[in-house]
Amino acid sequence: MRSVSKESNRANGISSYERPLPSRRLGHKKPMTLTSKTEECLERLQEAGPPRREDLIALLSLRDEKALQPLFFAADARRKETVGDVVHLRGIVEFSNYCERNCLYCGLRQANRQLKRYRMTDREILEAAFAVKRANIGTLVLQSGEDPFYDAEKLCRLIESIKRETGLVITLSLGERPREEYQAFRQAGADRYLLKHETASPSLYHRLRPGSRLENRLTCLGWLKDLGFETGSGNMVGLPGQDAAVLADDISLIDSLNADMAGIGPFLPHPQTPLSSCPPGEVLPVLTILALVRLTRPVIHLPATTAMSVLHPEGRLKALASGANVFMPDFTPPAYRRLYDLYPGRSADSGDPLSILDLLEKELNRYGRTILP
């Protein structure tokens, strides 16, 4: 049994609700009425074949929670049918905050000179992997900025030793790399790769990621699939310049990429970036997209992201009730965790991962959901 401290309960943002969620809210009570248009769109989306863009746009344009209840209800039911009531765990270790890129939205961008940079040693990374294993979690996610210090040789050595010593399933999230490097990672024992497409709009992508093209990102995702990685994509929601049509394209892209996983979360403006004065994404559109992805790609793995609990204390639970089925506790050592400053508020999640898990487990059990390591 994992132990829970009051302090970490407060810090992790899961239990700090002013009012706890009654189970009927988390489980989405069956809605009484549907407008015929919403009903038609929902029915068509649940048929086989690619989703119709007009249907996605129509549902993405619904802005009030009541009107969206039928969608959340359908997605939650589909999640139960396809991937069941278990919430899968992935222990994440953020091993370097150095980055060569200058994505306009991200606090790790190279031009952010105010950020103290760190790199974890092989020993520290291996220790963190053991902590994941001791927590009875079967999957490790290794994430970093695009940091050339960890070349293919270093990373392969690391992957091999983690695999040999822990036997964990290894997910990498290291950004864009040449095909040969992905191939070497796969041969060294990496199983999965998370590379969010970030936005399906080529022009917005190019604006937000100077010097990068969506086309290249999609080529990388194609290589990863070919090489036999279980592949994750996904996007941010609430980016400046993003509208319902772009979000509809995000959903279609996740479908056409045959993604095994999709990381979908709100954009949160970081004060030390060029997007500091932009408004943050909102909870409801993220829930809408999670639900639509669950309906269009029923067996996909969808994490309830940390960014959701930054936006709202119940954000992550709401995501788990709208199609999500994965939770990624942070196993980065505390001294480094606050420096992995992608967006503000992440430190709200800086409690001991075992306490966070214990609490999540209790919360989920109330709604008939369980945790699967």
141 is an interface residue for ligand SAH by CB under 6 A: no
Residue 109 contact among ligand SF4, ligand SAH, none, beta carbon within 5 to 8 Å by kind:
ligand SF4
Q: What are phi and psi of 221, to 5 degrees?
A: -65, -35
Interface positions, 24-63, toward ligand SAH (CB under 6 A): none
Does 181 contact ligand SAH by CB under 6 A? Answer: no
Helix 53-60 vs helix 36-45: crossing angle, to nearest 10: 130
Shortest Å, Cβ 11 to ligand SF4: 24
| Other CB atoms within 10 Å distance of the CB of residue 63 | 11
| Sequence-distant (≥ 6) Cβ neighbours of residue 86 within 8 angstroms | 325, 369, 370, 371, 372
C-alpha 319: how far from its chain's center? 11
Find all residues with CB under 8 Å of 246, minimum gap 6, and list them.
199, 200, 201, 204
Q: What is the nearest approach in angstroms of ligand SF4 to the Cβ of residue 111?
A: 9
User: Shortest gap between Cβ of 367 and ligand SAH (angstroms)?
Assistant: 27
Select the residue interacting with ligand SAH from 51, 175, 329, 351 (CB under 6 A).
175
Which parts of 253-272 interact with ligand SAH (CB under 6 A)? 265, 267-268, 270
Q: Report how far apart, in Å, the C-alpha atoms of 130 and of each of 17, 134, 228 are.
A: 32, 6, 26
Binding range to ligand SF4, per CB under 6 A, among 51-59, 104-112, 122-130, 363-371: 104-112
> CA-CA distance, 352 to 247, in Å (whole number)?
35
285 binds ligand SF4 (CB under 6 A): no
> Which phi and psi (to 5°) does residue 192 adopt?
-135, 160
Is residue 218 involved in binding ligand SF4 (CB under 6 A)? no
Query: Could you say whether residue 196 binds ligand SAH (CB under 6 A)?
Result: yes
Residue 262 vs residues 98, 297, 356: alpha-carbon distances, Å: 24, 10, 22
> Whole-number minimum distance, CB 129 to ligand SAH, in Å?
18
Q: How many C-beta neighbours within 10 Å does residue 18 have?
A: 6
- If the CB atoms of residues 106 and 291 are measured against ligand SAH, the closer one turns out to be 106
| Contact between 150 and ligand SAH per CB under 6 A | no
Q: Is 146 in the site for ligand SF4 (CB under 6 A)?
A: yes
Burial (Cβ within 10 Å: 0-12, 13-18, ≥19) of residue 36: exposed
Which residues would be at the binding site for ligand SF4 (CB under 6 A)?
99, 101, 103, 106, 108-109, 145-146, 175
Which residues would be at the binding site for ligand SAH (CB under 6 A)?
105-106, 143, 145-146, 173, 175, 195-196, 198, 236, 265, 267-268, 270, 307, 342-343
